[in-house]
Chains A and B, each alone.
Chain A
Amino acid sequence: MIDRIALSTLALLVAASPAAANRVFVSNERGNDVTVLDSETLEVIGTYPVGARPRGITISPDGKELYVCASDDDLVRVFDPETMQETHTLPSGPDPELFVLHPSGNPLYIANEDDNLVTVVDTKTHKMLAEIPVGVEPEGMGISPDGKVVINTSETTNMAHFINSETFEIFANVLVDSRPRFAQFNDQGSKLYVSSEIGGSVSVIDPATQAITKKITFQIPGVLPEAIQPVGVRVTRDGSRVFVALGPANRVAVIDGATDEVLDYLLVGQRVWQMGFTPDDKFLFTTNGNSNDVSVIDVAAMKVVKSVPVGQQPWGVVVAPN
């Protein structure tokens, strides 16, 4: 009830102010809930139950539907981002971990970690369109900016699978370093970044030729090489900066999108996992699973400006587009 009042107050504020703040949604894997933050005040708006073991989280391009992988419910749960009330569920296949939405908002491509499948679901009809067999422990999901190519990474097979987003056929497989976790295109579609958690590297792949053009590795003074485990990857809209969450190294690496060279390491919370930009690329939010907080990075200044306590074991984060 208190949350609702807070929400409606905020809604009034938002309506009154043209420089609208965005809502930031953080999935808490152990808390079975989502913490909602305000991207301007960086205050917690509320915490809402979302089902068992929420991990992957994303939002529709129109900002009207929030999707959460409820891994232990074997479902994708869909919420109204304004009210945080569940509107419906989507069939996801078993143990959904990460997913990616087509740039048009439909369909949703979901990695089923327990079943070596990628499940494709129509977000309008709520029907399953296809199940695509991939490698062992599918995890990372990416999609090209034109929506034509879906990437899935399989953690034990150590490959990035290139999938035609319409025919659902795999047309290329690129072997990368151990335990590929995440796949992210730049908005120009000229580079695909695949992080390898155990291999400790990020492979830069030319999507046109599926060739690895560079393997980015990381050295941080005072941090054991074993602790450097790249997971989440995000790229600024102009493609100039790439941010890589380094897991138990408690750092986010900043990479020059043109030269693929590491520019800096930013100290964040413990076991940094996934990240999300505000729509204007002003802030980047990182989930820190072991310190139960979110670090806020000022993207232009390349500085951590704040950490905000959230729920138990924050995993994923997405910022509303409007």
Chain B
Amino acid sequence: MIRIFTIFLAGFCAMAGTAMAQQAPQTTVRAAVLRVDPPSLPPISRLDARPGDLGFAGARLAIQDNDTTGRFMGQDFEAIEVAATPETAGPELQKLLGQGIPFIVVLADEAQTLALADQAGDAALILNAQARGDNLRGADCRANTIHVAPSHAMLADALAQFLMWKRWPDWFLVEGSHPQDIALAGAYRRAAVKFGARIVEERTYEDTGGGRRTDTGHVQVQAQMPVFTQRAAEHDVLIAADEAGVFALWLPYQTWDARPVAGSAGLVPRSWHPALEAWGATQFQNRFEELAIRPMREEDYQTWLALRMIGEAATRTQSADPAKLREFLLSPAFEIAGFKGQKLTLRDWDHQLRQPILLTTGSVTVSVSPQDQYLHQSSALDTLGIDRPETECKFRGQG
């Protein structure tokens, strides 16, 4: 048995339909992943504890994938991994900009993502792989930012389509007290109007502080949650808007009425789930798990996708020139495969990546939205989130 190690040198590239006689000289496409870790309490479930390589593991797989293709194209890819605190994020970004890194994948909350985008200005393209706030795609949109993570509106619409298909139009909305919870609840209110659901009752679950996990946690919860959800108007489903992860996981089976829970617990809309096997995802999950020795999280998927987008741009343009890659990414020609059964493309009005949303429970994918019944004149994916006529985004320098 011979293993052929030298074929890449012997191989030559055929581009745009024309075979090229020589391998292009090696060029490097540089990127960075900047993850901002705020101080936080442990999650409700120890299964949800943040792995140290969250996001970075996705980046490593993307670089492997990009490099495998790059060997045939004479391109090499790298991604610097930086874990920062809210205080050090700015200086860390400055260092990256100082090194001339043109593509920066950011895993941070809304406010920090916006601040980093403004700090980067024209010096780098920001790929948002975490923050879901609709404001970042609306009034606070930035021309130098691409949103790989789905927005709150996309996630809420994805769930709403499924609930309407189920004929569960009466919703009991419970929102947390943190700003991101309130923003998410807003997305559910909007989705209800958009798809004809009724929010029949709204309550706020105040975060009064303290540990989210104690030895007697479930004992307290068993007494508290039924009382909290008691005497709500007649509803089909309880929707929890708990972006901060304070209470939602305690709701299933603890509600006063025997109703399913969806949103931040129960049936959860997500960009990715480690049990997805359709559309070739099995092989992708296997590759990730072999590399990271853990299941893939949404942050890993979104970071992988962000770096694959850069890789795809480099492959298609046969260039490492950041300006060319950026131009291609934002052009109508750009599309990427992301193991979701169809091509993913960018909305030109707010730079949001169009993508199907998985509706998941703890261990399976229950459904994938958009649901077939929801049609759209240009792309069914635009039934999810903020469509062109509704956008509040005005990139600077544009009407």
* Residues on A facing B (Cβ under 8 Å): 95, 113-114, 116, 127-133, 135-137, 154-159, 161, 168-175, 178-179, 198-200, 209-213, 224, 226-227, 229, 248
Contact = CB atoms under 8 A, between A and B. Distances in A.
Interface string B212-253: 000000000000000000000000000000000000000000
B4 A168 contact: yes
Contacts of A127: 1
A172 B12 contact: yes
28 contacts: A128-B1, A130-B1, A130-B2, A133-B4, A133-B8, A135-B72, A136-B65, A154-B69, A156-B65, A157-B65, A159-B72, A161-B11, A169-B7, A169-B11, A170-B11, A171-B11, A172-B11, A173-B14, A173-B72, A175-B14, A175-B15, A178-B337, A179-B280, A212-B16, A212-B17, A226-B379, A226-B380, A248-B341
Contact of B69 (A113, A157, A212, A226): A157
Contacts of A116: 68
Given A175-B15, A211-B18, 12 more contacts: A131-B1, A156-B308, A158-B337, A161-B11, A170-B8, A172-B11, A175-B16, A178-B335, A199-B335, A209-B18, A212-B17, A226-B380
A172 B1 CA distance: 23
Contacts of B1: 127-131
A174 B14 CA distance: 5
Interface string B70-107: 00100000000000000000000000000000000000
B13 interface: yes
A114 B283 CA distance: 6
A172 B19 contact: yes
Q: Is the interface of A mostly helix, strand, loop or mixed?
A: loop
A209 B316 CA distance: 20
B10 interface: yes
Contact of B343 (A129, A136, A175, A178): A178
A17 to B, nearest CB: 43
Contacts of B284: 137
Contacts of B13: 172-173, 175
Contacts of A229: 341-342
B180 interface: no
Contacts of B6: 169
Contacts, number: 127
A113 to B, nearest CB: 5
Contact of B280 (A135, A137, A211, A227): A137
Interface in B311-328: 312, 315-316
Contacts of A172: 11-14, 19
A71 to B, nearest CB: 9
A55 to B, nearest CB: 12
Given A116-B68, A174-B14, A212-B17, A155 B342 contact: no
- Greatest chain B CB density within 10 A among A210, A213, A248 is at A210
Given A156-B65, A199-B335, A224 B380 contact: yes
A25 B11 CA distance: 37
A212 B335 CA distance: 19
Given A132-B7, A137-B280, A178 B336 contact: yes
Contacts of A157: 65, 68-69, 72, 315
Given A156-B337, A198-B343, A114 B287 contact: yes
B3 A130 contact: yes
Contacts of A137: 280, 283-284
The 7 lowest CB-CB distance pairs between A and B, nearest first, are A212-B17, A226-B342, A157-B69, A174-B14, A198-B337, A210-B19, A170-B11
Contacts of A113: 283
Given A198-B342, A211-B18, A168 B72 contact: no
